[in-house]
Amino acid sequence: MRIAVLLLAVVVVCAWLNPSAAEPEKKPAAPDYKRDVAPILEMKCNRCHTQNKAGGKLITTSVPAMLKGGASGPSIEPGSPDKSLLVELIHYNEMPPKREKPRVTPEELKTIKAWIAAGASEK
Ligand code: HEC
């Protein structure tokens, strides 16, 4: 019994000395457009979504262009990845078009969604 009390005291003191251990995990910083998001779009989308060749009238080379969107309206909805057409089409494997490579990986989609959730800032 005495040992149990002692162990408990050690645990309490450790938690007190290291308060971060008791806190919930910190959220990772929001992805950065230029560093994290633009390279994915560059590699997997821009081939078909530029000024000169804009599938669905959509340009994916800048944030304002994606906010404006294409034939179906805005492609991204800042703060709401699940309402963003761009996310929806990647999610359902509609973009890039079915037989096109390279595909967007689940990790990349997660990055894009986190960026939109954080407000889709271009900074
Ligand atoms: C091989 C060419 C090609 C690639 C690569 C491609 N797209 Fe597309 N995309 C198209 C075409 C063509 C359309 C129009 C399709 C239609 O209207 O049926 C389109 C339409 C869209 C639309 C709908 C636009 C609207 O308003 O109707 C979105 C959003 C979109 N693409 C996003 C993406 C994203 C994001 C990527 C990269 C992950 C991507 N596309 C890669 C050819 C491509």
Task: Summarize pLDDT for 69-113 with one digit per residue, the tens.
Answer: 999 999 999 999 999 999 999 999 999 999 999 999 999 999 999
Q: Kindly state the percentage of the chain with pLDDT values over 70.
A: 78
Q: What per-residue confidence (pLDDT) applies to 64?
A: 98
**Residue 100 Cα: closest atom of ligand 1:** 1
The predicted pLDDT at position 101 comes to 96
Q: What angle do CA 70, 74, 117 make, to 5 degrees?
A: 135
- Report the separation in Å between the CA atom of 100 and the middle of ligand 1, taken as the mean of its atom positions: 11
Q: What is the CB < 6 Å shell around ligand 1?
A: 44-45, 47-49, 55-56, 58, 60, 69-72, 75, 85-86, 89-90, 95-97, 100, 104
> Is 34 a residue whose pLDDT tops 90?
yes
**pLDDT score recorded for residue 24:** 64
pTM as predicted: 0.83
Pocket test for ligand 1, best of 33, 45, 84, 91 (most atoms within 8 A of CB): 45
DSSP one-letter string for 10-38: HHHHHHHH-GGGTSPPPPPPPPPIIIIIH
Q: Where are the domains of the chain?
A: 33-117
Contact 74, 67 (CB under 8 A): yes
For ligand 1, pick from 89, 101, 109, 113 the residue to mutate: most ligand atoms within 8 Å of CB: 89
Query: 34: exposed, middle or buried (C-beta count within 10 Å: 0-12, 13-18, 19+)?
Result: exposed
**30, pLDDT greater than 80:** yes
